[in-house]
Amino acid sequence: MRTVYVNGTWVPEDQAVVSVFDRGFLMADAVYEVTTVIDGKLVDFAGHVARLDRSLSELDMPSPATAEELLALHREIVAKNGITDGRVYLQVTRGNPGDRDFLFPDPNVTRPGIVLFTQVTGRPEDSADAKRGLKILTVPDVRWGRRDIKTTQLLYPSMGKMMAKKARCDDAWFIEDGLVTEGTSNNAWIVKGGKLITRALSNEILHGITRAAVMRYAAEAQLQVEERSFTLEEAQGADEAFVTSASAFVMPVVEIDGVKLGAGEPGPVARRLREIYLDESRKSAI
């Protein structure tokens, strides 16, 4: 049984509770981050904390802890649960004002809520998905406009994953005005003529921490990266495609809406970037 952290207390997971009046529960008035653990160490932690601070700032929500305190909590929960390869989920809510109300509670009276728990995964090198590649279904993007804020409003991404599952695909990409925005829980990339193409940062996509790391590593490997939007047709005609996220790392895509990319198997660029990312993550993890 896992040990989880709930509002200042370490408890067994079956004793972890939050108030029915917590705004994260009632209104998805909460943000979150997921930090990967490799070999018992945290990957890209500074980036996740910086994005958390940005999300909180955009929602005018106070932080429940400093970066140093969050690092200590992450390390403690990894140790308490003996995590070697996995992830740490962190959620911050606007708190429990004692009753339901659309208006924000006074931050001087209502403290933000904070929850952490762990999940165990296998070794990244053993991923079956990475070896065979993902099949993608595209769906209309009808999410709210501030996708750059990592909120817990994940109903439509969850629906997108379910639509993909029903279509016997692995995941979904969102399409808006004929252009690919991103995946349900990842940033989307294509490879054409040796060039990496991914949508530029804006309010329309999540500012992926893994995305930023892959861009650095690609530049070091002398791979050209072009930040721009691309169409579904362009994606289907690409040499390769892949997605990036803290959970998936660099994950090859081999099919989009039934159209195979290249030979229909993970391409050399995606495979190499995944190797580089995992190698560099092991070196820099804390």
- Known catalytic residues are 150
How is residue 272 written in tokens? 């190499």
Structure tokens at 246: 């803290």
SS (H, E, C) 238-278: CCEEEEEECCCEEEEEEEECCEECCCCCCCHHHHHHHHHHH
* Nearest-angstrom CA–CA distance, 173 and 185: 9
Burial annotation 157-176 (CB, 10 A radius, 16+ → b, else e): beebbeebeeeebbbbbbbe
93: tokens are: 């809510």
Whether 57 contacts 49, CB under 8 Å:
no
The C-alpha atoms of residue 51 and residue 57 are separated, in whole angstroms, by: 10
> Across the strands, what pairs with 125?
none
The rounded distance, in Å, linking the Cα atoms of 72 and 69 is 5
Tell me which residue of 177, 178, 141 sits closest to 159, measured CA to CA: 141
Alpha-carbon distance of 281 to 38, in angstroms, equals: 8
Place of tokens 């090859």: 252
Q: Look at phi and psi of residue 35 and say left if phi exceeds 0, alpha if psi is from -120 to 50, else beta.
A: beta
For 143, phi and psi rounded to 5 degrees? Answer: -75, 170
Return the bridge partners of 118, or none.
Answer: 88
The β-bridge partners of 113 are 93
